[in-house]
Amino acid sequence: MRTQLRFWMTAAIAVSAMATNGCSSTEKTQDPGPTYKYPDAPAFCAGVAKAICTDKFVAACAGSKDNCPVKLQADTCKVINTGTYRPAVAEDCVKAYETAYDDGQLSGTEQAAITAACTIVFGGNGGTGAQCTKLTDCDLDAKLQCVKGKCEVPDEVAAGEDCSADDKTCEKGYYCTAADKICAKAPVAGGACSASKPCAEEFLCVIASGGTEGLCQSKIADGEACTAGADSDCASKLCVPGPGKDAGTLDYTCGSVHIYSPFDPYCQLSK
């Protein structure tokens, strides 16, 4: 599933109607509303697949220019979010893929741009105060986000200020303390951390198996092992596959760019 999600970090059909005036035979055209390049989810899937299947990507994968978009369109639609499609933001997502795959490779910065643009293509139905575990559980068109397990319009507060209300979030580099409910500076390298005391953005909270508390450590450097799909664990924001020690296996390491090859799992999805 994580492999599939790299291609999809993942569109309201505009309806037009004719109104007839009850006192006249003159027909008036109602405003059909906005039109979108990708008016529905299948069109969006096709757009993402086409954006990925550039000549350079297909060549690196030793694939087929005709087959690639067909396979990836089907794959994208398999893992697509089942929430509400938001065609107004779908084109930005496809453009992020077009920019990223123009050279047939993928950098950490490009992956981050895809994630930012595509995560919000599908939203949930959760209204204000509804329970949530992730952003897309909430009604994004109402500008709701998942804050402290509830759908709220976030209200950012500064260091040292009260953050007890459901909609309060702390400014970057700070977190809401569990006991006092004030915004405190997030721990950095060597600092104690937990689920309720997250590290600053550029660090990882490393907790021993079975434990509940750990220490903040620098994110994983290029060339060091990482978990497939865990791009955010890497300083480069990219965990890439490479040939494993044993034949037919893969090892994942952090790297600044994902250079595709025929046996790459992402290439396999396009064949």
The one-digit pLDDT tens for each residue of the chain (271 residues) are: 444 445 544 333 222 222 333 333 445 556 566 899 999 999 999 999 999 999 999 999 999 999 999 999 888 777 665 689 999 999 999 999 999 999 989 999 999 999 999 999 999 999 999 999 999 999 999 999 999 999 999 999 999 999 999 999 999 999 999 999 999 999 999 999 999 999 999 999 999 999 999 999 999 999 999 999 899 999 999 999 988 777 678 899 999 999 998 888 889 999 8
Q: Of 175, 177, 204, 211, which Cα lies nearest the Cα of 189?
A: 204
- The reported pLDDT for the residue numbered 105 is 92
Amino acid at 56: K
| Residues 246, 251, 257, 259, Cα dihedral to 10° | 30
Alpha helices in the chain, H assignment, sequence order: 2-7, 41-52, 55-61, 67-78, 87-101, 108-118, 265-268
Give the predicted TM-score (pTM) of the model: 0.79
Q: Which residues pair with residue 250 across a beta bridge?
A: 243
Query: Dihedral through CA 193, CA 197, CA 203, CA 204, nearest 10?
Result: 60
Q: Specify the pLDDT at position 6.
A: 57
Give pLDDT, residue 30.
62
How confident is the model at residue 77, as a pLDDT?
75
